[in-house]
A and B are shown apart, each in its own frame.
Chain A
Amino acid sequence: MRLSQLIDELKLQVLTPPAPEAGVTGGYASDLLSDVLANGEEGNVWITIQVHRNVAAVASYKDFAAVILSGGRQPQDDLRDVAEQEGICLLSTPLSTYEVAGRLYALGIAPA
Protein backbone atom coordinates (compact mmCIF):
# COMPACT_ATOMS: atom_id res chain seq x y z
CA MET A 1 0.00 0.00 0.00
CA ARG A 2 1.05 3.54 -0.69
CA LEU A 3 1.97 5.58 2.35
CA SER A 4 -0.11 8.50 1.08
CA GLN A 5 -3.15 6.22 0.85
CA LEU A 6 -2.59 5.02 4.41
CA ILE A 7 -2.36 8.60 5.64
CA ASP A 8 -5.76 9.34 4.07
CA GLU A 9 -7.41 6.17 5.37
CA LEU A 10 -6.35 6.77 8.96
CA LYS A 11 -6.67 10.56 8.71
CA LEU A 12 -3.16 10.95 10.08
CA GLN A 13 -1.74 14.36 10.83
CA VAL A 14 1.29 14.93 8.63
CA LEU A 15 4.10 16.55 10.60
CA THR A 16 6.81 16.03 7.99
CA PRO A 17 5.87 14.96 4.47
CA PRO A 18 6.18 11.41 3.11
CA ALA A 19 8.44 10.58 0.19
CA PRO A 20 6.21 10.87 -2.91
CA GLU A 21 6.07 7.24 -4.02
CA ALA A 22 6.75 5.60 -0.65
CA GLY A 23 5.16 2.24 -0.07
CA VAL A 24 4.51 0.43 3.19
CA THR A 25 5.76 -3.12 3.68
CA GLY A 26 4.35 -3.73 7.13
CA GLY A 27 4.35 -2.28 10.59
CA TYR A 28 6.02 -2.49 13.96
CA ALA A 29 4.68 -1.22 17.26
CA SER A 30 7.04 -0.72 20.20
CA ASP A 31 8.37 2.02 22.43
CA LEU A 32 11.66 0.30 23.15
CA LEU A 33 14.24 1.59 20.73
CA SER A 34 16.54 -1.44 20.76
CA ASP A 35 13.55 -3.69 20.21
CA VAL A 36 12.58 -1.64 17.18
CA LEU A 37 16.16 -1.68 15.92
CA ALA A 38 16.20 -5.46 16.27
CA ASN A 39 12.79 -6.28 14.87
CA GLY A 40 11.55 -3.50 12.60
CA GLU A 41 11.89 -4.03 8.86
CA GLU A 42 12.78 -1.71 6.04
CA GLY A 43 9.71 0.05 4.66
CA ASN A 44 7.68 -0.50 7.84
CA VAL A 45 5.59 2.09 9.55
CA TRP A 46 6.66 2.32 13.18
CA ILE A 47 4.00 3.12 15.76
CA THR A 48 5.30 4.61 19.00
CA ILE A 49 4.60 7.03 21.80
CA GLN A 50 8.25 8.12 22.01
CA VAL A 51 8.64 11.72 20.82
CA HIS A 52 12.31 12.62 21.35
CA ARG A 53 14.96 13.02 18.70
CA ASN A 54 16.38 9.51 18.97
CA VAL A 55 13.17 8.36 17.25
CA ALA A 56 14.53 9.93 14.07
CA ALA A 57 17.84 8.09 14.41
CA VAL A 58 16.08 4.74 14.80
CA ALA A 59 13.72 5.44 11.89
CA SER A 60 16.59 6.46 9.68
CA TYR A 61 18.76 3.42 10.48
CA LYS A 62 15.85 1.09 9.77
CA ASP A 63 14.79 2.92 6.60
CA PHE A 64 11.21 3.01 7.81
CA ALA A 65 8.51 4.42 5.53
CA ALA A 66 7.10 6.52 8.36
CA VAL A 67 6.77 6.95 12.10
CA ILE A 68 3.28 7.26 13.56
CA LEU A 69 3.15 8.99 16.93
CA SER A 70 0.08 7.49 18.58
CA GLY A 71 -2.17 8.62 21.42
CA GLY A 72 -2.21 12.19 20.14
CA ARG A 73 1.42 12.74 20.93
CA GLN A 74 3.31 15.57 19.32
CA PRO A 75 7.04 15.44 18.63
CA GLN A 76 9.51 17.43 20.68
CA ASP A 77 10.78 20.31 18.60
CA ASP A 78 14.14 18.80 17.81
CA LEU A 79 12.55 15.54 16.66
CA ARG A 80 10.51 17.42 14.08
CA ASP A 81 13.62 19.33 12.97
CA VAL A 82 15.77 16.22 12.62
CA ALA A 83 12.98 14.34 10.83
CA GLU A 84 12.67 17.20 8.39
CA GLN A 85 16.43 17.25 7.75
CA GLU A 86 16.66 13.48 7.37
CA GLY A 87 13.58 13.21 5.19
CA ILE A 88 11.76 11.01 7.69
CA CYS A 89 7.98 11.05 7.41
CA LEU A 90 6.53 11.88 10.83
CA LEU A 91 2.81 11.37 11.42
CA SER A 92 0.53 11.78 14.41
CA THR A 93 -2.86 10.44 15.40
CA PRO A 94 -5.17 10.53 18.41
CA LEU A 95 -5.67 6.75 17.98
CA SER A 96 -3.90 4.46 20.43
CA THR A 97 -1.06 2.19 19.31
CA TYR A 98 -3.46 -0.76 19.54
CA GLU A 99 -6.06 0.95 17.37
CA VAL A 100 -3.52 2.04 14.77
CA ALA A 101 -2.16 -1.50 14.50
CA GLY A 102 -5.68 -2.89 14.19
CA ARG A 103 -6.57 -0.43 11.45
CA LEU A 104 -3.38 -1.28 9.56
CA TYR A 105 -4.21 -4.96 9.73
CA ALA A 106 -7.73 -4.27 8.51
CA LEU A 107 -6.21 -2.46 5.54
CA GLY A 108 -4.24 -5.56 4.73
CA ILE A 109 -0.92 -4.27 6.01
CA ALA A 110 0.50 -7.25 7.87
CA PRO A 111 4.12 -8.01 8.77
CA ALA A 112 5.97 -9.07 5.65
Chain B
Amino acid sequence: MIGTANGFSVAHELVYTLKVRDAMRTDVITVTPENTLREVQVLLREHRFSGTPVLADGRLVGIVSIEDIINALDRGHISQRVADWMTRSVVTIQDNMPLSRAVEFFQRYPYGRLPVLDSGGRLCGILTPSDIIARLMVELNRLAEDAARRETDLMARAGTRVTDGSELKMDFRVSAGDFDNAGIASARIKAVLKERGVDARIVRRAAIATYEAETNIVIHSMGGKIHTAINAERVLVEAIDWGPGIEDVEKAMQPGFSTASELVRAMGFGAGMGLPNIQKCADRFEIHSTVGSGTHLRIELDLRSAVPQGGE
Protein backbone atom coordinates (compact mmCIF):
# COMPACT_ATOMS: atom_id res chain seq x y z
CA MET B 1 0.00 0.00 0.00
CA ILE B 2 2.69 2.44 1.00
CA GLY B 3 5.25 1.22 -1.48
CA THR B 4 2.96 1.35 -4.46
CA ALA B 5 1.71 4.87 -3.86
CA ASN B 6 3.26 6.30 -7.02
CA GLY B 7 4.24 9.91 -6.80
CA PHE B 8 4.16 9.97 -3.04
CA SER B 9 7.91 10.12 -3.19
CA VAL B 10 8.67 11.48 0.26
CA ALA B 11 7.00 8.56 2.02
CA HIS B 12 8.58 6.28 -0.53
CA GLU B 13 12.03 7.56 0.27
CA LEU B 14 11.34 7.29 3.97
CA VAL B 15 10.58 3.57 3.87
CA TYR B 16 14.06 3.10 2.44
CA THR B 17 15.89 5.24 4.97
CA LEU B 18 13.97 4.18 8.08
CA LYS B 19 14.85 0.85 9.66
CA VAL B 20 12.49 -1.77 10.98
CA ARG B 21 13.61 -0.97 14.53
CA ASP B 22 12.53 2.66 14.02
CA ALA B 23 8.92 1.62 13.60
CA MET B 24 8.56 -1.62 15.58
CA ARG B 25 6.96 -1.85 18.98
CA THR B 26 9.11 -3.23 21.73
CA ASP B 27 6.40 -3.81 24.33
CA VAL B 28 5.79 -7.29 22.97
CA ILE B 29 3.51 -9.63 24.86
CA THR B 30 4.64 -13.22 24.38
CA VAL B 31 3.38 -16.64 25.42
CA THR B 32 5.11 -19.98 25.91
CA PRO B 33 4.29 -23.31 24.23
CA GLU B 34 2.93 -24.46 27.60
CA ASN B 35 0.19 -21.81 27.75
CA THR B 36 -3.29 -22.89 26.69
CA LEU B 37 -5.04 -21.36 23.72
CA ARG B 38 -7.70 -20.14 26.18
CA GLU B 39 -5.04 -18.13 27.99
CA VAL B 40 -3.87 -16.68 24.71
CA GLN B 41 -7.44 -15.77 23.82
CA VAL B 42 -7.83 -13.81 27.08
CA LEU B 43 -4.51 -12.09 26.48
CA LEU B 44 -5.36 -11.04 22.94
CA ARG B 45 -8.74 -9.75 24.02
CA GLU B 46 -7.21 -7.76 26.87
CA HIS B 47 -4.56 -6.13 24.75
CA ARG B 48 -6.58 -6.01 21.54
CA PHE B 49 -3.77 -7.74 19.66
CA SER B 50 -4.43 -9.94 16.68
CA GLY B 51 -1.59 -12.34 17.39
CA THR B 52 1.35 -13.04 19.64
CA PRO B 53 4.79 -14.67 19.31
CA VAL B 54 5.55 -17.90 21.16
CA LEU B 55 8.89 -18.04 22.98
CA ALA B 56 10.71 -21.04 24.43
CA ASP B 57 13.89 -20.27 26.37
CA GLY B 58 13.95 -16.79 24.80
CA ARG B 59 13.82 -18.23 21.27
CA LEU B 60 11.01 -17.59 18.86
CA VAL B 61 9.41 -20.96 18.14
CA GLY B 62 6.06 -19.97 16.66
CA ILE B 63 3.19 -17.52 16.52
CA VAL B 64 -0.46 -17.74 17.52
CA SER B 65 -2.89 -15.54 15.61
CA ILE B 66 -6.48 -14.63 16.26
CA GLU B 67 -7.44 -17.03 13.45
CA ASP B 68 -5.81 -19.90 15.33
CA ILE B 69 -7.97 -18.95 18.32
CA ILE B 70 -11.15 -18.76 16.26
CA ASN B 71 -10.40 -22.15 14.74
CA ALA B 72 -9.72 -23.57 18.20
CA LEU B 73 -13.06 -22.26 19.48
CA ASP B 74 -14.76 -23.62 16.39
CA ARG B 75 -13.24 -27.06 16.61
CA GLY B 76 -13.23 -27.36 20.37
CA HIS B 77 -9.53 -27.43 21.18
CA ILE B 78 -9.38 -24.05 22.91
CA SER B 79 -8.20 -25.56 26.19
CA GLN B 80 -5.26 -27.37 24.58
CA ARG B 81 -1.61 -26.26 24.61
CA VAL B 82 -0.20 -23.59 22.32
CA ALA B 83 2.61 -25.97 21.33
CA ASP B 84 0.14 -28.23 19.51
CA TRP B 85 -1.59 -25.57 17.43
CA MET B 86 0.78 -22.64 16.91
CA THR B 87 2.15 -21.76 13.48
CA ARG B 88 5.75 -22.97 13.51
CA SER B 89 7.05 -21.66 10.24
CA VAL B 90 7.23 -18.01 11.22
CA VAL B 91 8.44 -15.39 8.78
CA THR B 92 10.56 -12.87 10.68
CA ILE B 93 12.52 -9.76 9.84
CA GLN B 94 15.81 -8.36 11.12
CA ASP B 95 15.65 -5.12 13.08
CA ASN B 96 18.30 -3.46 10.91
CA MET B 97 16.42 -4.03 7.63
CA PRO B 98 14.94 -1.04 5.82
CA LEU B 99 11.23 -0.55 6.37
CA SER B 100 10.68 -1.11 2.66
CA ARG B 101 11.35 -4.83 3.26
CA ALA B 102 8.54 -4.97 5.77
CA VAL B 103 6.24 -3.12 3.38
CA GLU B 104 7.02 -5.73 0.70
CA PHE B 105 6.36 -8.46 3.20
CA PHE B 106 2.94 -7.16 4.13
CA GLN B 107 2.07 -6.80 0.46
CA ARG B 108 3.12 -10.35 -0.33
CA TYR B 109 1.78 -12.26 2.67
CA PRO B 110 -1.60 -12.27 4.33
CA TYR B 111 -0.07 -11.85 7.80
CA GLY B 112 -0.85 -8.79 9.88
CA ARG B 113 2.24 -8.86 12.07
CA LEU B 114 5.92 -9.50 11.73
CA PRO B 115 8.17 -10.58 14.62
CA VAL B 116 11.45 -8.67 14.62
CA LEU B 117 14.75 -10.37 15.55
CA ASP B 118 18.00 -8.73 16.59
CA SER B 119 21.38 -9.75 15.22
CA GLY B 120 21.58 -12.49 17.86
CA GLY B 121 18.35 -14.02 16.61
CA ARG B 122 16.39 -12.97 19.68
CA LEU B 123 12.91 -11.46 19.49
CA CYS B 124 13.24 -7.70 20.07
CA GLY B 125 9.97 -6.32 18.74
CA ILE B 126 6.94 -6.72 16.59
CA LEU B 127 5.81 -4.77 13.55
CA THR B 128 2.35 -4.23 12.03
CA PRO B 129 1.29 -2.13 9.02
CA SER B 130 -0.25 0.44 11.35
CA ASP B 131 3.09 0.79 13.18
CA ILE B 132 4.66 1.64 9.84
CA ILE B 133 1.98 4.17 9.01
CA ALA B 134 2.22 5.76 12.46
CA ARG B 135 5.97 6.10 12.10
CA LEU B 136 5.67 7.56 8.60
CA MET B 137 3.14 10.11 9.82
CA VAL B 138 5.48 11.24 12.57
CA GLU B 139 8.35 11.47 10.11
CA LEU B 140 6.29 13.34 7.49
CA ASN B 141 5.09 15.77 10.14
CA ARG B 142 8.63 16.39 11.22
CA LEU B 143 9.71 17.01 7.63
CA ALA B 144 6.81 19.40 7.10
CA GLU B 145 7.69 21.27 10.29
CA ASP B 146 11.33 21.48 9.28
CA ALA B 147 10.35 22.88 5.91
CA ALA B 148 8.04 25.43 7.51
CA ARG B 149 10.76 26.44 9.97
CA ARG B 150 13.30 26.85 7.20
CA GLU B 151 10.89 29.02 5.29
CA THR B 152 10.17 31.13 8.37
CA ASP B 153 13.89 31.55 8.96
CA LEU B 154 14.38 32.61 5.39
CA MET B 155 11.58 35.11 5.69
CA ALA B 156 12.88 36.43 8.99
CA ARG B 157 16.23 36.97 7.35
CA ALA B 158 14.50 38.60 4.40
CA GLY B 159 12.91 40.93 6.96
CA THR B 160 16.25 42.53 7.64
CA ARG B 161 17.41 42.46 4.07
CA VAL B 162 18.16 45.90 2.71
CA THR B 163 18.89 45.74 -0.98
CA ASP B 164 20.72 48.19 -3.20
CA GLY B 165 19.14 51.59 -3.36
CA SER B 166 18.27 51.14 0.31
CA GLU B 167 15.13 49.11 -0.24
CA LEU B 168 13.77 47.06 2.63
CA LYS B 169 12.13 43.83 1.56
CA MET B 170 9.94 41.69 3.77
CA ASP B 171 7.97 38.54 3.06
CA PHE B 172 5.24 37.04 5.18
CA ARG B 173 3.44 33.76 4.80
CA VAL B 174 -0.30 33.93 5.32
CA SER B 175 -2.15 30.71 6.08
CA ALA B 176 -5.76 30.06 5.14
CA GLY B 177 -8.07 30.29 8.12
CA ASP B 178 -5.42 31.62 10.46
CA PHE B 179 -7.28 34.60 11.91
CA ASP B 180 -4.93 34.84 14.87
CA ASN B 181 -2.00 35.76 12.68
CA ALA B 182 -3.83 38.00 10.22
CA GLY B 183 -2.27 41.38 10.72
CA ILE B 184 1.35 40.38 11.20
CA ALA B 185 2.47 41.87 7.89
CA SER B 186 0.43 45.03 8.36
CA ALA B 187 1.73 45.49 11.91
CA ARG B 188 5.33 45.18 10.68
CA ILE B 189 4.77 47.64 7.86
CA LYS B 190 3.18 50.07 10.26
CA ALA B 191 6.13 49.77 12.64
CA VAL B 192 8.74 50.22 9.91
CA LEU B 193 7.03 53.24 8.35
CA LYS B 194 6.42 54.85 11.73
CA GLU B 195 10.05 54.37 12.65
CA ARG B 196 11.05 56.09 9.42
CA GLY B 197 8.98 59.09 10.37
CA VAL B 198 6.45 58.65 7.57
CA ASP B 199 3.33 60.79 7.89
CA ALA B 200 0.85 59.09 10.22
CA ARG B 201 -1.95 59.23 7.65
CA ILE B 202 0.14 57.39 5.09
CA VAL B 203 1.19 54.85 7.70
CA ARG B 204 -2.47 54.27 8.48
CA ARG B 205 -3.44 53.83 4.85
CA ALA B 206 -0.59 51.40 4.24
CA ALA B 207 -1.46 49.35 7.32
CA ILE B 208 -5.15 49.21 6.46
CA ALA B 209 -4.57 48.23 2.84
CA THR B 210 -2.16 45.48 3.91
CA TYR B 211 -4.48 44.25 6.64
CA GLU B 212 -7.41 43.99 4.21
CA ALA B 213 -5.22 42.06 1.79
CA GLU B 214 -4.03 39.75 4.56
CA THR B 215 -7.51 39.00 5.85
CA ASN B 216 -8.71 38.29 2.32
CA ILE B 217 -5.98 35.67 1.96
CA VAL B 218 -6.93 34.18 5.34
CA ILE B 219 -10.66 34.15 4.61
CA HIS B 220 -11.02 33.61 0.89
CA SER B 221 -7.92 31.79 -0.30
CA MET B 222 -6.06 28.56 0.23
CA GLY B 223 -3.07 30.47 1.57
CA GLY B 224 -0.53 32.86 0.20
CA LYS B 225 2.04 35.48 1.02
CA ILE B 226 2.57 39.18 1.45
CA HIS B 227 5.62 40.64 -0.16
CA THR B 228 6.61 44.17 0.67
CA ALA B 229 9.32 46.50 -0.54
CA ILE B 230 9.85 49.87 1.09
CA ASN B 231 12.19 52.56 -0.09
CA ALA B 232 12.37 56.31 0.45
CA GLU B 233 9.80 56.98 -2.25
CA ARG B 234 7.10 54.42 -1.82
CA VAL B 235 5.85 51.28 -0.16
CA LEU B 236 4.92 48.38 -2.40
CA VAL B 237 2.73 45.59 -1.03
CA GLU B 238 1.98 42.52 -3.08
CA ALA B 239 -0.56 40.00 -1.86
CA ILE B 240 -0.27 36.75 -3.70
CA ASP B 241 -2.33 33.66 -3.04
CA TRP B 242 -2.61 30.20 -4.47
CA GLY B 243 -6.24 30.15 -5.39
CA PRO B 244 -9.10 29.67 -5.85
CA GLY B 245 -9.07 33.04 -7.64
CA ILE B 246 -11.94 35.49 -8.14
CA GLU B 247 -14.53 34.75 -10.80
CA ASP B 248 -15.74 38.29 -11.40
CA VAL B 249 -13.21 40.85 -10.22
CA GLU B 250 -15.40 43.81 -11.12
CA LYS B 251 -18.16 42.46 -8.92
CA ALA B 252 -15.72 41.68 -6.09
CA MET B 253 -14.54 45.30 -6.18
CA GLN B 254 -18.06 46.61 -5.60
CA PRO B 255 -18.64 47.83 -2.03
CA GLY B 256 -20.89 45.37 -0.22
CA PHE B 257 -20.17 42.34 -2.38
CA SER B 258 -19.01 39.44 -0.25
CA THR B 259 -19.04 35.68 -0.35
CA ALA B 260 -17.90 35.38 3.27
CA SER B 261 -19.47 32.53 5.25
CA GLU B 262 -21.83 33.03 8.18
CA LEU B 263 -19.06 32.01 10.56
CA VAL B 264 -16.66 34.60 9.21
CA ARG B 265 -19.39 37.26 9.15
CA ALA B 266 -20.05 36.61 12.82
CA MET B 267 -16.48 37.71 13.45
CA GLY B 268 -17.17 40.99 11.70
CA PHE B 269 -15.62 40.19 8.36
CA GLY B 270 -17.62 40.11 5.15
CA ALA B 271 -18.84 43.69 4.86
CA GLY B 272 -17.61 43.50 1.30
CA MET B 273 -15.54 46.59 1.89
CA GLY B 274 -12.03 45.20 1.97
CA LEU B 275 -11.10 45.56 -1.70
CA PRO B 276 -12.74 49.02 -1.98
CA ASN B 277 -10.80 50.03 1.16
CA ILE B 278 -7.56 48.89 -0.41
CA GLN B 279 -8.29 50.88 -3.54
CA LYS B 280 -9.13 53.96 -1.50
CA CYS B 281 -5.95 53.68 0.58
CA ALA B 282 -3.59 53.06 -2.32
CA ASP B 283 -2.05 55.56 -4.68
CA ARG B 284 -1.79 52.81 -7.26
CA PHE B 285 -3.68 49.54 -7.15
CA GLU B 286 -3.86 46.55 -9.45
CA ILE B 287 -5.76 43.33 -9.02
CA HIS B 288 -5.22 40.29 -11.17
CA SER B 289 -7.04 37.07 -10.57
CA THR B 290 -7.28 33.79 -12.39
CA VAL B 291 -9.77 31.17 -11.33
CA GLY B 292 -7.89 28.01 -10.49
CA SER B 293 -4.53 29.65 -9.93
CA GLY B 294 -4.92 32.63 -7.62
CA THR B 295 -5.16 36.32 -6.92
CA HIS B 296 -2.42 38.93 -7.07
CA LEU B 297 -2.84 42.40 -5.60
CA ARG B 298 -0.30 45.11 -6.24
CA ILE B 299 -0.69 48.00 -3.82
CA GLU B 300 1.53 51.06 -3.92
CA LEU B 301 1.58 54.15 -1.72
CA ASP B 302 3.78 57.17 -2.17
CA LEU B 303 5.52 58.03 1.04
CA ARG B 304 6.06 61.69 0.28
CA SER B 305 2.70 62.66 -1.16
CA ALA B 306 0.56 63.95 1.70
CA VAL B 307 2.99 65.95 3.78
CA PRO B 308 6.54 66.68 2.64
CA GLN B 309 9.06 65.06 4.97
CA GLY B 310 11.29 67.26 7.06
CA GLY B 311 14.63 68.09 5.46
CA GLU B 312 13.24 68.40 1.95
Contacts and interface: CB of A to CB of B under 8 A. Distances in A.
Interface residues of A, number: 20
B277 interface: yes
A78 interface: yes
Contacts of B200: 42, 63
Interface string A35-60: 10110001000001010111001101
A55 to B, nearest CB: 8
A73 interface: no
B186 A33 contact: no
B277 A37 contact: yes
A31 interface: yes
Query: Of B179, B180, B271, which is in contact with the most chain A CB atoms at under 10 Å from its CB?
Result: B271
A31 B211 contact: no
Contacts of B215: 33, 54
Contacts of B270: 32
A61 B179 contact: no
Interface in A19-40: 31-35, 37-38
A57 B227 CA distance: 19
Contact of B211 (A32, A48, A52, A57): A57
Contacts of A42: 200, 204
Contacts of A57: 182-183, 186-187, 211
A10 B77 CA distance: 85
B209 to A, nearest CB: 9
A34 B271 contact: yes
B207 A33 contact: no
Interface residues of B, number: 25
Given A34-B273, A34-B274, A78-B180, A61 B267 contact: no
A103 interface: no
Contacts of B187: 57, 60
A24 B179 CA distance: 29
B277 A54 contact: no
A60 B204 CA distance: 9
A54 to B, nearest CB: 6
B212 interface: yes
A29 B271 CA distance: 14
Nearest to A48: B268
Interface in B199-214: 200, 204, 207-208, 211-212
B268 A61 contact: no
A23 to B, nearest CB: 16
A61 B271 CA distance: 18
B186 A31 contact: no
Nearest to A61: B207
B107 to A, nearest CB: 48
B106 interface: no
A78 B210 CA distance: 22
Contact of B179 (A31, A35, A54, A63): A54
Interface of B: 179-180, 182-183, 186-187, 190, 200, 204, 207-208, 211-212, 215, 267-274, 276-277, 280
13 contacts: A33-B268, A35-B273, A37-B211, A38-B273, A38-B276, A42-B200, A54-B179, A57-B211, A58-B211, A60-B207, A61-B211, A63-B204, A78-B180
Given A34-B273, A50-B268, 6 more contacts: A32-B269, A33-B269, A34-B271, A42-B200, A57-B183, A60-B207
